[in-house]
């Protein structure tokens, strides 16, 4: 596994690099034999250190963990603990999912649009400013698999092709902490019935 360790406006020493390499590699290899890569970013915020971890364990499986602590080692341990907890929680489901065929994968374009500061600027230029534009795969999944990937990626929303009906669906994290599910196919079926 390729591990990238960076410091945001701080120097990451050799002792911390060695500690991260050993512990991250050991924890991830416990659950994934062939994890692809991991990124660790340390930063300093006021009196605390922040550790942001992102582990790309396989096709469509990305886990993220973040923690703050008074010590950089403790912040890393807390963030790694969150990732380990996610892996323990979903280990069986991930193994079952890998045994099933992936099916058709659809491609889409993912864009990040810059927010508009004032209404005056919006009226002058009708086209939004695109900050980033990148390809994204839309996998064919069951709803429970989509929720699992949403949790693992710690993402606010995820689009997928529903394995049950073939339609495009969205799962998203609601403000109350629950998961919402948008299925246009079910709404069309209820209107025709």
Identify the CATH number of the domain in which residue 155 sits.
3.30.505.50
SS3 content of the chain, % helix, strand, coil (to 5): 35, 35, 25
Instruction: Name the residue range of residue 29's domain.
Output: 2-99
Residue 96, token pair as written in the block: 């079952």
Tell whether 87 and 114 lie within a shared domain. Answer: no
User: 10 Å Cβ neighbour count for 33?
Assistant: 9
Tell whether 140 and 53 lie within a shared domain. Answer: no
Identify the CATH number of the domain in which residue 57 sits.
3.30.160.100
- Written as tens digits, the pLDDT of the chain (193 aa) is 788 999 998 889 999 999 999 999 888 888 777 777 889 999 998 889 999 998 887 766 778 889 999 999 999 999 999 988 877 776 666 555 555 554 556 666 666 666 655 555 545 556 777 766 767 778 888 898 888 888 877 788 888 989 888 889 999 999 898 999 999 876 655 444 4
Supply the pLDDT for residue 193: 45
Q: Which residues pair with 2 in a beta bridge?
A: 37
How far is the CA of 52 from the CAs of 2, 66, 91, 108, 158, in angstroms?
A: 16, 5, 22, 28, 21
Supply the pLDDT for residue 190: 47
Tell whether 111 and 93 lie within a shared domain. Answer: no
Domain count across the chain? 2
pTM higher than the cut 0.75: no
Which of these three, 69, 99, 129, is where a domain ends? 99
Tell whether 147 and 83 lie within a shared domain. Answer: no
Which residue, among 100, 112, 99, 107, has the nearest Cα to 138 in the 3D structure?
107
């Amino acid at each position: 596994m390729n591990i990238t360790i960076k410091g945001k406006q701080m120097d990451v020493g050799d002792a911390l690099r060695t500690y991260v390499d050993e512990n991250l590699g050991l924890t991830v290899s416990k659950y994934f034999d062939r994890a692809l890569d991991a990124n660790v970013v340390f930063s300093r915020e006021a009196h605390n250190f922040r550790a942001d971890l992102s582990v790309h364990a396989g096709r469509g499986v990305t886990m993220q963990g973040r923690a703050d602590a008074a010590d950089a080692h403790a912040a890393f341990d807390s963030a790694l603990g969150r990732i380990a907890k996610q892996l323990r929680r979903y280990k069986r489901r991930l193994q079952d999912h890998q045994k099933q065929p992936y099916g058709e994968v659809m491609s889409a374009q993912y864009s990040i649009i810059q927010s508009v500061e004032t209404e005056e600027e919006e009226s002058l230029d009708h086209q939004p400013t695109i900050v980033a534009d990148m390809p994204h795969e839309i996998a064919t999944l069951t709803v429970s698999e989509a929720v699992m990937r949403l949790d693992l990626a710690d993402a606010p929303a995820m689009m997928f092709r529903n394995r049950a009906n073939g339609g495009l669906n969205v799962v998203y994290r609601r403000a109350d902490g629950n998961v919402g599910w948008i299925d246009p196919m079910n709404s069309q079926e209820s209107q025709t019935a």
